Amino acid sequence: MTPPGGASLTVRDAALVAGTGILAMALLAVFANFGVLENLVTEDDAARTARDIRGSEALFRFGVVALFLVAVLDVVVAWALRVFFQPAHKGIATLAAWFRLAYAAVLLVAVAQLVGALPPAKDAESLGAYRADQLDAEALMRIDAFHDIWDAGLIFFGVHLLLLGYLAFRSGYVPRVLGVLLVLAGLGYLVDSLGAFLSSGYSTEAAVFTGVGELILMIWLLAKGRNVGSRLPAQAETAP
């Protein structure tokens, strides 16, 4: 978790990096999920999904790239948040960072499923009817696998937020209410992920209501995080 060249990052700089990274991820994720996947993927309709992807192949590719960038930014944010929360508790801050890295790794595996969905959707048009149906179904199966893998990865993300919530609550330099909101956000992701795994009919989306915690963290980091350094001992200002 040490940046290249052994460079150090101040707590104030870490707040800016983390807040900016979370903002960029939010924008990319909204584009990929609602601007691309929600528009091009029709549940339980493989033929229409493949046809729509073929008709908007460039858009689909941009969506995949956006999700790849989200995973890369998760690594950056994991490091920055580790530095920011290290004065509260170095060991737990490092553990929280590793959970976010694990989530980023699972997300990359999930995105690879989307990459594999494009060739079947593209090639099906030039093949016979039966074979085309098979490839259309494979494309949709890969997209479904993307969602399933991502949902599983959100278990790691939920634990990450729980740990961040604990660190924020005990830090003394982050509002305690933000720590509570982060814990609720983490619980929301855990409930959704475990619910989807344990029950095929699970449809509740608790994270839609509880996930506001990370949004508020982003706003607070960008607006108030730069003031944190003045409340810390000099030796806590930088972290390896």
Domain membership of residue 240 (yes or no) is no
Contact 70, 107 (CB under 8 A): yes
Average pLDDT over residues 59-66: 94
With 0-12 / 13-18 / 19 or more C-beta atoms within 10 angstroms meaning exposed / middle / buried, residue 209 is: exposed
End-to-end C-alpha distance for the chain, whole angstroms: 8
Q: Kindly report the number of other CB atoms within 10 A of residue 184's CB atom.
A: 19
Q: Tell me how many domains the chain contains.
A: 1
> Is residue 198 over pLDDT 80?
no
Contact 87, 232 (CB under 8 A): yes
The mean of the pLDDT values for the chain is: 85
Q: Rounded to whole angstroms, how far apart are CA atoms 181 and 126?
A: 52
Q: pLDDT tens-digit profile of 44-58?
A: 788 888 888 888 889
Contact 88, 170 (CB under 8 A): yes
Domain membership of residue 85 (yes or no) is yes
Query: Which range marks the domain in which residue 30 is found?
Result: 9-228
Domain membership of residue 77 (yes or no) is yes
Kindly list the distances between the CA atom of residue 153 and the CA atoms of 31, 45, 194, in Å, as whole numbers in the listed order: 20, 26, 11
Q: pLDDT tens-digit profile of 146-170?
A: 988 998 999 999 999 999 999 999 9
Q: Rounded to whole angstroms, how far apart are CA atoms 43 and 152?
A: 20
Domain membership of residue 238 (yes or no) is no
Backbone φ and ψ of 12, nearest 5°: -65, -40
Looking at residue 82, its pLDDT comes to: 96
The pairs formed by 3-11 with CB atoms below 8 angstroms and a separation of 24 or more are 3/79, 6/240, 8/238, 8/239, 8/240, 9/80, 9/83, 9/238, 9/239, 10/229, 10/237, 10/238, 11/83, 11/84, 11/86, 11/87, 11/228, 11/229, 11/232, 11/236, 11/237, 11/238, 11/239
Domain membership of residue 235 (yes or no) is no
Q: pLDDT tens-digit profile of 10-22?
A: 888 999 999 999 9
Closest CA to 21 of 79, 86, 106, 103: 79
Domain membership of residue 13 (yes or no) is yes
DSSP assigned state of 7: -
Split at pLDDT 50, 70, 90, the class of 176 is very high
How far, in whole angstroms, is CA 192 from its chain's centroid?
A: 14
Looking at residue 72, its pLDDT comes to: 96
What Rg, from alpha-carbon coordinates, does the chain have?
A: 20
Place of tokens 């706003």: 219
Which stretch, 20-29, 124-133, 187-196, has highest mean pLDDT?
Answer: 20-29
Domain membership of residue 4 (yes or no) is no
